[in-house]
A and B are shown apart, each in its own frame.
Chain A
Amino acid sequence: MAEPDHRRAQLPAVQHLVVRYAKRGKMRFASHRDVARVFERGVRRAGLPIAYSAGFTPHPKISYAGGAPTGVASEAEYLSLALTSREPAAQVGQRLNAALPDGIDVIDVIDGGPAGGVGPLEASRWQVVLPGVGQADAARAVAGFLALGEAPVERLTDKGVRTLDARAAVVGLDVLEPDPATAEEGCAILRMVVLHTAPAVRPEDVLTALRQRYGLEPSAPPVTTRLEQGSVALLTPENVS
């Protein structure tokens, strides 16, 4: 007997949109998989003509650039949507925003292929708030770290303990000068530009090195935010020029 073919015929994608979105507030605790679930439902709620993969279990065609880790906020996450009919990018942004939970917020939608639009995402600029850490202590630790040739740290991953060189991936690191008008009492703010390496070095790995080598110990969990993603040239013009 002939086997019935149960694969679904799907409409082809005619447009790729790049979405820059933020992960803010409570939503910083969403994992990569949580964020994917949110967008899969969001595009359906928004009624967007999302394309689906072929095969027995079709999935909406959404591809994610490496997301910020669970617990880390971001102002610069990227994904691309494949649509089966052309839609104005700005409208897609509005409709999607209305369909997403507060804290997963669309910042910008750019028309363009998965490769075009935003350029290469080679590195990220991060901000790390360290509660209970003094300005001078932070500055000393940062100076020491930058002078190192390498800074091996261990991190527990799903596959066991891995050793990474936290120093090699850092192309920029400084302590933000406190603004007397807005500065929070007793916390230091770091800014760092970290290359997207494999395996990935995260801001937490840099903090591990700062803690282990210079005793930089926050009194409460640090709050980390990705501010920007892009090319090294874009994020560290001072190094390039």
Chain B
Amino acid sequence: MPEPPAAGRAGPASAKRPDPPSGRCWHLPGLDSEAVAGEYEATTETGGRVRAPRLTTAQAIHVASEVRAAALEARRERRLAEVLDAASRAAGRLADPGDPAGREAADVLGRELGWSAAASGRTLRDMAEVWRRDALADLLERELGDPAVLDAFRPDPDRPGRRRRALGAPLQFLVLSGNVPGVGVTALLRGLLARSGLLARVSAREPGLPALFARLLAQEDPLLGRTVAVTWWPADEAAPAWEAWSARAGTVVVYGGAEAVAGVRARVGAAADLLVYGPRTGIAVLLPDAPPGTAAALARDVCAYEQRGCVSPRLVFVVGGDALDAGAAVAEALAAEAARRPPPPLSSDEAVRIRAVRAEAEFAGLAQGASPGRVFGPEDLSWTVLAGGEPGIASTALPRTVWVHAVPDVAALLALLAPLERRIQAIGTAGDRGLAELAEGAAALGTSRVAPLGRLAWPPADWRHEGKHQILPLLSWTDWEDAAG
């Protein structure tokens, strides 16, 4: 099992965080950098500056045209196998500590997240599991049956006399609003496999990695490098690229929160397909026969991505048990995990938010008298368990922070979770008693994955993210019926 990230420089927020990012976050094929009039600039969560060229409408359109032309050329000049080779090599280099590019990637990511380069390197290596050539080829095989449809017409095995071909839109516009480490690279890989030209707007919080990937791809294969454009602009700016890129894309893919999604939805042309990966959360369920060691497995899932991921379990439900007992066990496991893998330093904002949820829970418990909740966690805020109180579904993504509630049975749990329909990404489970009922309920709620705790944070390469296929939604099919068919 991949190891969770950890920081070399662990300790309280007052400990020095890595220097903020200042790296280049753009890769714009065809742009005459001499003609760029100015830059967009912003301060990131970790206090770094993000800068990117201020494109005019004409420049944004020119980049889109160049990328489209290169993508159409690549469809003629490159076989899928060559795309797989080059793309997986470029992505693999991001996670290779022996490659200067891998060291740069770990450095960029570490500075963006405020993690040590060692911790970000480990996270990149976890992510790279799904970027490997065999994993990508397997994914295509599983979704398409015959991936060669991405190169040419192929006989339809079930329909004699019919051939079929699949291609993505010539231009795909990706809005990478999220900051889960590496997800932007995964999104670019999916687009490349769909044989699309890619126009990507990165998030100010994780701006560096997609552009670095695009530059590495250009090193591996200059033509493919010209099929990807990456840059950043402030979300609230009326940047010309918003209009120029969304209007030209046949497919628009959005990662991020409700606001980001709504903003993009309003801009996308009626003819474009819109694919949304919105806000979701992970949940952990301890069934009555949960085996010993469950809390330790849960703690690994909690610490894996510092609760940033949509699979990260923020809410823990103990079925037919006691919330305070379970909370104490989870607390003990998180303390042990913290000793093994010290957490990255907290940002000031994270510390404030953790202290706020602790204070609210603690005072609510003190005010209740009967069945009070309890807050577990060290003074340095490095992990927090908010156990007991009125069972609920409120939670916030905060580093190593979990809410633990007791429910009498699986039916009661499913009733409690009803408002989260299509908002639960994954459910991590421990124990068998009630598991089938829980899995059936999870499917009804639109949950994309049910997996044992300890594996929740590491979805397999062919996981149907948000319940969707990864490649199929990006494709358009052409059936060619023979005269004889």
A binds B: no
